[in-house]
A and B are shown apart, each in its own frame.
Chain A
């Protein structure tokens, strides 16, 4: 996609300038010193802990219209929910790929994972593993990195979306000459660390964290965009921030007019109105007289039926919203709705009002059934990124040009 190509060029420039600072002009990353040029291998451990699913447990009580079979608002961790085209996990992976790390390992707590994450892009050096215990899995992964000759690693929990300059963070860590550096922002510590693999892989990751607290290890302060993804309110905020371009990450799909992005296979009826900024996902349909307005995003395989108004809302993947409804200040998924104004979750029993779409899910068909670590083959997890058609198919019927 054109956007990704443009972004990667910008990031390449950053890599070049940072690499120059480190004394390197070729290869992945090198550091200069008295002993000459020395290669620096970088790895990434991204974790999915489902920590931010805790809010859903609290939601059970407030779901006043919910039936007894209410199990929480969303079935997957917030970092795996697709927002404005791709998940937070994928957006984080893209950031690490841009600085040309050697390998990225995604460790997901098996208990919190109902299905394997879906990626739009084909990342060559990403492996996904479902694990029983995250801390020991991180330690094992760091040991593996060390064996592969990777000297430093970023350990990042995907339950917060951060947009810090990763190479600057790495330089800070190198200059501090400490085995571990943790990041902070205005609200406190963040789950993003830089570690020396060789020094830390032998001890448990948790022990290493205690080391940070006791010995006053260096703290890197992040001034850039941070979203902790603690609740659907944060999910909504992130979607709105992506649409209003308050953060670096951008909506997927093609910008058909300023502030309106439509992804592959998205259809907008010529009598429907889309008020910028807004996003219509892959294969979604906006029917006649519908209105999508005020930073709303309709994710993939959704349907907004005739006469319905979607205002300041996120409609998550595979959701059908019935005719002549007003959906305002909400996050909707299937037949579940979280109203942010009233802070209440509602399960809609009536399938005419809201339901899951019958459209086929484009997720990789992998569910985690056992607690044993599962390494999923790369070609099974990574789905092909939809490519944009040469001639944009919505140009003819999009009346709001």
Chain B
């Protein structure tokens, strides 16, 4: 696991069965409970993906979304993609070719949205202009 600014990147284990999924969720839990969790799960190591693993991914996504955050997947192999498609969950996740791209996607989102311009009604000039006009 490593962090890139506010984004947490975690590598999923080779085998994602019931037991592994449970221990991985325990490991991830503290990060999911933070404010606006931004999590990238690197799927490059996955060799066995079972329905329990897919369920864990959905659980993580649900918890992240509850706290106004997001969970993205990176480096999903074709075989893992087939399993996600088969279980109808592929469309719920944003999927990126690499972890770096997934991290960047969080940053692009943040830089585009945080420095907001003030609305027209909050601008002091607006009122002075109105007074001058009257």
Query: In the complex, which residues of chain B have a beta carbon less than 8 angstroms from the beta carbon of A330?
Result: 82
Q: Are A326 and B85 in contact (CB under 8 A)?
A: yes
> In the complex, what distance in Å separates the CA atom of A349 from the CA atom of B20?
15
- With a CB–CB cut-off of 8 A, which chain A residues contact B83? 65, 346, 348
Q: Which of A53-96 contact B (CB under 8 A)?
A: 63-65, 67
Taking a contact as CB atoms closer than 8 A, the residue among B47, B50, B82 that contacts A337 in the complex is B82
Q: Are B79 and A64 in contact (CB under 8 A)?
A: yes
Question: A121 at the A/B interface (Cβ < 8 Å)?
Answer: no
B82 and A325 within 8 A (CB): no
Q: How many B residues have CB within 8 A of the partner chain?
A: 19
Min Cβ gap A294→B in Å is 16
Determine whether B49 belongs to the interface, using a CB cutoff of 8 Å to chain A.
yes
A342-B86 in contact (CB<8A): no
A63 with B79, Cβ < 8 A, contacts A326-B86, A327-B86 known = yes
- Indicate if the CB atoms of A342 and B82 lie closer than 8 Å: yes
Distance in angstroms between the alpha carbons of A327 and B82 in the assembled complex: 9
Point out the residues of chain B lying under 8 angstroms from A326, CB to CB: 85-88
Chain A residues, Cβ within 8 Å of B79: 63-65, 344-346
Residues of A within 8 A of B17 (CB): 349
Cβ-based interface call for A324 (8 A): yes
Q: How far, in whole Å, are A65 and B87 apart by their CA atoms in the complex?
A: 15
* Beta-carbon nearest neighbor of A352 in chain B: B51
In the bound assembly, the distance between CA atoms of A347 and B128 in angstroms comes to 71
User: A328-361: which have CB < 8 Å to B?
Assistant: 328, 330, 337, 339, 342-346, 348-350, 352-353
Binary interface encoding of chain B residues 27-54 relative to chain A, with 1 for a CB under 8 A from any of its CBs, else 0: 0000000000000000000111111100
The secondary structure that dominates the A interface is loop
What is the CA–CA distance of A394 and B41 in the complex, to the nearest angstrom? 48
Q: Does B78 contact A (CB under 8 A)?
A: yes
Q: Judging by beta carbons under 8 Å apart, are A64 and B47 in contact?
A: yes
Contact between chains at A344 and B82 (CB < 8 Å): yes
A residues in contact with B51, CB < 8 Å: 350, 352-353
A49 to B46, CA, bound (A): 37
* Bound CA–CA A169/B112 (angstroms): 71
- Chain A interface size range: 20 to 34
Q: Is the CB of B50 within 8 A of A349?
A: yes
- A325 CB contacts on chain B under 8 angstroms: 86-88
What residues on A are CB-neighbors of B47 within 8 Å? 64-65
- Which of the listed residues B50, B80, B86 has the most CB atoms from chain A within 10 Å of its own CB? B86
Residue of A nearest to B51 (CB): A350
Mark each residue of chain B from 51 to 87: 1 if its CB lies under 8 Å from any CB of chain A, else 0: 1100000000000000000000000011111110111
Are the CB atoms of B82 and A346 closer together than 8 Å? Answer: yes
Interface centre among B47, B81, B82 (most CB of A within 10 A): B82
Q: How far is the CA of A366 from the CA of B80 in the complex (A)?
A: 37
Q: How far is the CA of A325 from the CA of B82 in the complex (A)?
A: 11
- Known contacts A64-B77, A349-B50, A350-B50; A324 and B82 CB within 8 A of each other: no
How far, in angstroms, from A337 to B80 measured CA to CA in the complex?
A: 12
Complex Cα distance, B82 from A348, in Å, reads: 10
Residue of A nearest to B77 (CB): A64
What is the minimal beta-carbon distance from A295 to any residue of chain B, in angstroms? 19
Residues on B with C-beta less than 8 A from A350 are 50-52
Which residues of A pack against B, CB within 8 Å? 63-65, 67, 324-328, 330, 337, 339, 342-346, 348-350, 352-353
22 contacts between A and B (CB under 8 A): A63-B79, A64-B77, A64-B79, A65-B46, A65-B47, A65-B48, A65-B77, A325-B87, A326-B86, A326-B88, A327-B86, A328-B85, A337-B82, A337-B86, A342-B82, A343-B78, A344-B78, A344-B82, A345-B79, A349-B50, A350-B51, A353-B51
